[in-house]
Amino acid sequence: MNGKRVRVLSATSVVLSVVALAGCGGSGDEGTKASGPVTVEWWSWDESKTTQPVADKFNATHDDVKIKLVKQADNVGTAQNVRNVVASGKNVPCLVKNFGEVPGLAGEGLLSDVTDALQPYLKKKAFTEAALPAVRAGGRYYAVPTGFTPQFMIINKSVYDAYGIAAPKTWDELIDAGKKLKKHGVYVMNLAGEDPSTLVNLVQQANGSWYRQDGDSWKVDFLSPESLEAADIVQRLVDNDLVANQTYQDRPALISYFDSGKMVSLPTSTWQLGTYELNYKKSLGDWQPIDLPQFAGASAFTTPGHSVNSGLIVPKGCAHVKEAVEAGVWMNTTKEAVDATYQKDTKQYSWPGAIPDPSPWVASTVPDKLFGKDRDQARGVILKAVAGAKDTWTVGPNYTGVFAELQDEWAKIVTKKITVKAALAHLQEFTVKDLKSKNINVEG
């Protein structure tokens, strides 16, 4: 090996170096003691009707720390504003709604290491285990965990019943159901050409990951057994013409299509149920919640627990990390905070994805009419999805560019221009070459 090769080791090494330098420069993370209450500025682009009551409740119940909510325009604007303010080092907010994968943002030097401040809450097991991996990089924490939303499936039971087809328990059974439905002009699922999340979720459900860290190196494996197992499911759905390709970019048309009875199985989560209830006209009451189908022979019931934008981030330069973490933990783990998110118009709370036991709030996520006589099944399905959630997904330092490449490949997959395996082989070569071009140590 060329001894002159620059070894930018891993995101972990980069992150730790950045943190060490910042500590020498006096970021204000340690030892800052205000004479009065500390104000934690919180940036979020969520609707104020859901966030301001949380800040108000915190301020009414705390004397030493106060939250000041600053409304942001959107995800993209927030990302740019954070990068600008961290670069300037002035007026840095201490809590921000996440706009990316935490390891990547930490690798950019945008985040504070909150591990020490978070430790007391970790010891008390304030968070569900599946909420933790997404906010770690190299064994350190760079955000307050916000958790995940449970994944399950809803099926148009009236159509399934009309053709005498049982609800699928495995992906193989779903494919078999698709073959029977095809004879009647009905698609079993929808795979939008711009969204490869089905493939990503299947790899996660198989307990796989395309990246792994190994010491000072990244290992990349798009052709692992887990990845190929996921690819096989997608390939059979596509090869047998069992899926629709309705785009997500025209939301009204998408919802109308789902409502039509021409597509009858939707992987979904709690936050989407209210939209279906509000917009379905023809199929309201026909849907049934079921467990997310499993791989045949799976040793344990598993649902994907990784959330792309998980975590309430603490930007680099925040003057009060300890107080920011205190406020962030309260916002994401206490009954008072969750109750403060209640909306009278929707009769719903924000989903408490970081809490080990979210059962007190499940009922509010289940709409009155969507599931008809099967409504009572929803609670058990949702809580089983929570209990089965695992997060084995690791994001590499160039995943943003890799995901864009994956989107291009996915469009070719669903239109049968290439196979899933061929796309994965291309991504393997693309990812390794890209990491090497960035002088990042990689195997694969």
DSSP summary character for residue 383: H
Backbone φ, ψ for residue 294 (5° rounding): -110, 165
Q: Print burial letters for 20-32: b (CB count within 10 Å at least 16), e (below 16).
A: eebeeeebbbeee
Instruction: Write down the pLDDT at residue 16.
Output: 36
- Between CA 300 and CA 276 the distance in angstroms is 30
Instruction: Write down the pLDDT at residue 72.
Output: 96
- H/E stretch holding 338 reads helix 335-340
- Between CA 227 and CA 431 the distance in angstroms is 15
- Which among 214, 270, 180 is positioned nearest to 396, based on CA atoms? 214
Backbone φ, ψ for residue 26 (5° rounding): 75, 65
Contacts of 314 (CB under 8 A, 6+ apart): 94, 95, 96, 111, 112, 114, 142, 143, 144, 321, 324, 325, 328
Q: Using an 8 Å Cβ cutoff, are 204 and 425 in contact?
A: no
- Which among 38, 23, 183, 167 is positioned nearest to 109, based on CA atoms? 23
Q: Is 16 helix (H, G, I), strand (E, B) or coil?
A: helix
- Between CA 257 and CA 427 the distance in angstroms is 32
- Which among 238, 307, 233 is positioned nearest to 269, based on CA atoms? 307
CATH numbers and ranges of domains, the chain: 38-149+308-362 (3.40.190.10), 151-305+384-438 (3.40.190.10)
Regions of the chain where pLDDT drops below 50: 1-32
Instruction: Write down the pLDDT at residue 34.
Output: 54
Q: Is 183 helix (H, G, I), strand (E, B) or coil?
A: coil
pLDDT tens track for 55-91? 999 999 999 999 999 999 999 999 999 999 999 999 9
Instruction: Write down the pLDDT at residue 24.
Output: 30
The tokens describing 24, both together, are: 């020498």
pLDDT tens track for 272-304? 999 999 999 999 999 999 999 999 999 999 999
- Between CA 93 and CA 102 the distance in angstroms is 17
- Between CA 163 and CA 177 the distance in angstroms is 10
Q: Using an 8 Å Cβ cutoff, are 74 and 101 in contact?
A: no
- Between CA 209 and CA 393 the distance in angstroms is 5
